[in-house]
Structure 1
């Protein structure tokens, strides 16, 4: 029997300061109905890239990915990403087909929740000025007060 080499899964809602972070989508749509547009290829985070988002925080303009922090993340339960699970449970699907995402093959959310995560992903922004009640609830780690950041 052959053992499969462990792969590093990527968090699709990473912070730009995380080691190995890359921008993989641009936030479009409106504050009330954000939608992300996927980049043709992920772009490594640099000071120049972050400066291009000014005067707003980079997480309001871009979606970032980085290796999943697992136990160092408040959303990780030791085996799964609770954020991905809650997004699938609480958020409506906004896409009926798989979006043109370039990180899917290594995405923790897709590996864990499958197509259901992808159907919700286009509406997820890492920092929302006006989050819906469902997004706030999904983004709030167990035992914490509601937050607009995921």
Structure 2
């Protein structure tokens, strides 16, 4: 599962961004049209929530064909963020693309990352 999925019908909502900017992970909920309608007039969904969905591998711009893995995981790990020292609760860890390829190192900054931050990071690093 991709831990940096877009908020669309069928995606799984698995985190809510708190006032302190950290993501509070929750038991995944399926995104519905009603959810999107209720949240359409506010800031970008991806600034306020974390979503997961099926990793599309080669169908994603972040896929590194030479290494056969997601390149975004390593970029997130290299961010200058407050990194956790212990693993925190994550409802998708056992299915997470980043965890499966990079282990617990991929988890330590994950609760400070939103998709919009990742998009900015990708633009800067290219």
- TM-score band, normalised by the shorter chain? 0.7 to 0.9
TM-score (norm: length of structure 2):
0.85
Query: Which of these two proteins has the greater Rg computed from alpha carbons?
Result: 1
Segments of structure 1 that go 5 or more residues without pairing to the other structure are 1-9, 144-150
Segments of structure 2 that go 5 or more residues without pairing to the other structure are none
Question: Partner of 1:24 in structure 2?
Answer: 14
Spell out structure 1 runs of 4+ moving beyond 6 A: none
Residue 136 (structure 1) aligned to one of 106, 120, 124: 120
| Equivalent residues of 2:81, 2:112 under 8 A apart | no
Deviations 1:24-66 (A, max 9, x none): 0001134xxx210011x10011011122324222212211000
Deviations 1:70-93 (A, max 9, x none): 111000012111000111123435
| Equivalent residues of 1:26, 1:61 under 8 A apart | yes
| Equivalent residues of 2:2, 2:55 under 8 A apart | yes
Question: Partner of 1:90 in structure 2?
Answer: 79
From the two aligned structures, give the one with the greater helix fraction.
Answer: 2
CA RMSD after TM alignment: 2.2
CA gap of 1:102–1:73, structure 2 versus 1, over 3 A, is: same
Question: Partner of 1:100 in structure 2?
Answer: 89
Q: How many residues align?
A: 123
